Copies of this chain bind each other. A is one copy, B any other.
Amino acid sequence: MATGRTHRPATRSRGIPEATVARLPLYLRALTALSERSVPTVSSEELAAAAGVNSAKLRKDFSYLGSYGTRGVGYDVEYLVYQISRELGLTQDWPVVIVGIGNLGAALANYGGFASRGFRVAALIDADPAMAGKPVAGIPVQHTDDLEKIIKDNGVSIGVIATPAGAAQQVCERLVAAGVTSILNFAPTVLSVPDGVDVRKVDLSIELQILAFHEQRKAGEEALALAEAEAVVEVSEESGKGPDGDVPAVMPA
Of A68, A89, A90, A209, most buried by chain B (CB within 10 Å of CB) is: A209
The one of B1, B68, B158, B184 in contact with A201, judged by C-beta atoms closer than 8 angstroms, is: B1
Q: Which 10 A-B pairs have the closest CB atoms?
A: A2-B2, A1-B3, A89-B216, A113-B205, A103-B107, A52-B190, A25-B209, A25-B206, A182-B211, A1-B4
A51 touches B (CB below 8 Å) = yes
Instruction: Please name the residue on chain B nearest to A52 by beta carbon.
Output: B190
20 cross-chain CB contacts under 8 A: A1-B1, A1-B2, A1-B3, A2-B3, A4-B26, A22-B210, A52-B192, A79-B241, A79-B243, A88-B213, A91-B247, A94-B208, A94-B212, A103-B110, A106-B107, A119-B205, A157-B215, A158-B208, A184-B207, A198-B211
Copies of this chain per assembly: 2
A108 touches B (CB below 8 Å) = yes
Q: Given that A3-B1, A103-B111 are contacting pairs, would A89 and B206 also be in contact in the complex, using a CB cutoff of 8 Å?
A: no
- Which residues of B lie under 8 Å from residue A182 when comparing CB positions? 211-212, 214-215
Q: Mark A184-207, 1 if CB is under 8 A from B, else 0.
A: 100010101000101011111111
- Which residues of B lie under 8 Å from residue A87 when comparing CB positions? 213
Instruction: Please name the residue on chain B nearest to A113 by beta carbon.
Output: B205
- Determine how close the nearest CB of chain B comes to the CB of A22; give it in whole angstroms: 5
Task: Say whether B218 contacts A1, CB under 8 Å.
Answer: no
Task: Say whether B25 contacts A202, CB under 8 Å.
Answer: no
87-144 of chain A: CB within 8 A of chain B: 87-92, 94, 96, 102-104, 106-108, 110-111, 113-114, 116-119
A78 touches B (CB below 8 Å) = yes
A43 touches B (CB below 8 Å) = no
Task: Say whether B4 contacts A202, CB under 8 Å.
Answer: no
